[in-house]
Amino acid sequence: MKKIPAIKTVMSAFPYWVDITDTVTSAEHMMHEHKISHLPVKRSGDLVGVIAHYDIEQARASFGDTNQVNEMKVVDICTLNVYKVDLEEPLDNVVWHMATHHLGSAIIMRNDRLAGVFTVNDACRCFAEFLRYQFRQTDGDDVA
């Protein structure tokens, strides 16, 4: 029987991050530039949270004033209580926890240092690859 892979095999390694004092606009620009939806948030080099593109959209919907949101600091809208896991954690444990707690991301750590990010988009990509592998077409003669 095959062993379930560790989260390190599917995470986005060496992620970009923002400082808690950065503006929401700078975080959004970084997300757009690198085509990502989640950014770890640091304060004085320590991981303290995560900001998602969804957080920015929700802030704009709540405040209605785009300029006000653009000038906000990341600390004003980021999630400070993040789900952190060791990079050796089995993938199924991480995905199960994310689904059970309705989380959009997991922050991957190595020796208490930021090592990567795993998002719900990554989970969907993994599942698609799994399905393609499990149900790959052979010779096309499967239909009677």
Task: List residues bridging with 52 in a β-sheet.
Answer: 38
Higher pLDDT, 103 or 15: 103
pLDDT score, position 65: 72
Task: List residues bridging with 13 in a β-sheet.
Answer: 116
DSSP H helices, 7-136, are: 24-34, 53-63, 66-71, 74-77, 91-100, 120-134
Tell me what the pLDDT averaged over the chain comes to.
92
CA distances from 44 to 58, 83, 89, 92, 106 (A): 27, 20, 27, 32, 21
SS3 state at 110: strand
Q: What's the pTM value of the predicted model, to 2 decimals?
A: 0.85
Domains defined for the chain, CATH in brackets: 7-134 (3.10.580.10)
pLDDT score, position 67: 82
Q: Which secondary structure element, helix H or strand E, spans residue 5, and what is its range? A: none
The 10s digit of each residue's pLDDT in 65-106 is: 778 888 899 999 999 989 999 999 999 999 999 999 999 999
